Structure 1
Amino acid sequence: MAVSNATLGWGVVALVLMALAVPWFLWGESGVVAGLPVWVWWHVGWLCLTAVVFAVFARHAWGTGIEGGGVDG
């Protein structure tokens, strides 16, 4: 069974987004920006990035890794 480059690419993107979901490098950071802790701003940015990536995925690559791999396909 061959895996397409698109499937591998989107898999890597998903793994990177999952790895960045928890800001382990900000643990113990006590900085505050605009009245909120830095880690809250990290999550705001991460959620915006995730929303953009999902929109691109949904528009251009929906079905990648699913279609064409069945018994009939």
Structure 2
Amino acid sequence: MKDSKTDKSEGLIDKAAGKVKEALGKATDDKDTEAKGKAQTAKGDAKQAKGNLKDAVDSNHDADSTNNPPR
């Protein structure tokens, strides 16, 4: 499984590429390219959210183990 930093960085790359495709589609009046750009941007958002969720779960797990030492 990928770590959270990998998910977040891949998400950022997808978002940037998606924005470029979307702008290119708008500039050339190519609705297909524009739609693909929007989809790639959404994919990037999802990857970043996945990375953030992994961070939250890891933080919660770390807090639980710190607050509840084994007996």
TM (norm. structure 2) is: 0.44
Task: Tell me which protein shows more helix as a share of its residues.
Answer: 2
Q: TM-score, normalised to structure 1's length?
A: 0.44
Instruction: Specify which structure has the higher proportion of strand.
Output: 1
